[in-house]
Amino acid sequence: MIEAIIFDMDGIIIDSEPLWKKAIINVMKQVGFNFTIDMCNRTKGMRVDEVIKYWKTELNADFDSNKLSKDIVEEVIYLIKKEGEAIEGLEKVLKKAKSNNLKIALASSSPSLIINVVLKKLNIIDYFDVVQSAEKEDFGKPHPGVFITTAKKLNVSPVKCLVIEDSLNGVIAGKSAKMKVVAMPEKEEKQLNKFVIADSIVNKLTEIRF
């Protein structure tokens, strides 16, 4: 029986995945690299520092990783404040979870700075029993650390947790933590066969059964 629901944030709580991609493309262009959406998708779900580390190696680049990470975070915050909107059906699902006496948590690869901006903008902080950023873990997703830590803080066994994720890295992390996982991929990723590792795949939040 499920005792807790753990939400990813980007793409699950707020429609921010396109904003992350826009921010990465904008900032990378400033240091001389023309990024594409497909390139952004390769690191989707990872922490921003790990994204920068990945591309610094792939591109054999010499940019300042700390500055680039900071610039991307600042750009994402700007875009969220300007354009960010809640995912359709979010409040309905949160209310249903509360009415079913389930514990609710957020476990995101985004830094706490961005998480706080999102929760404030959407005015949903009171729904969550635990809010956890992977920036506090040794490794980000697809490592299961952030989900395991979240379960411990909820005082719920991982096998009694349901994770809602939109990225393959997030799905892998949830399954590695021994949790049930519902995948809600972006439209362009819905046909990826790799998402079959999730326990179920939905098109929108209100399709989730718990």
Residue tagged active-site, from 8, 15, 49, 166: 8
Please spell the DSSP secondary structure of 53-73, one letter per residue: HHHHHHTT----HHHHHHHHH
In 3D space, the residue among 142, 183, 179 whose CA is nearest the CA of residue 161 turns out to be: 179
The first and second tokens of residue 105, run together, are 């948590």
| Sequence-separated (6 or more) residues with CB below 8 Å from residue 116 | none
Whether 166 is a known active-site residue: answer: no
- The number of beta carbons lying within 10 Å of the beta carbon of residue 199 is 14
- Strand ranges across the sheet with 103-108: 130-133, 103-108, 4-7, 161-165, 180-183, 200-201
Maximum Cα–Cα distance across the chain: 52
* Residue 10: active-site member: yes
Catalytic residue among 10, 15, 49, 71: 10
* Residues noted as catalytic: 8, 10
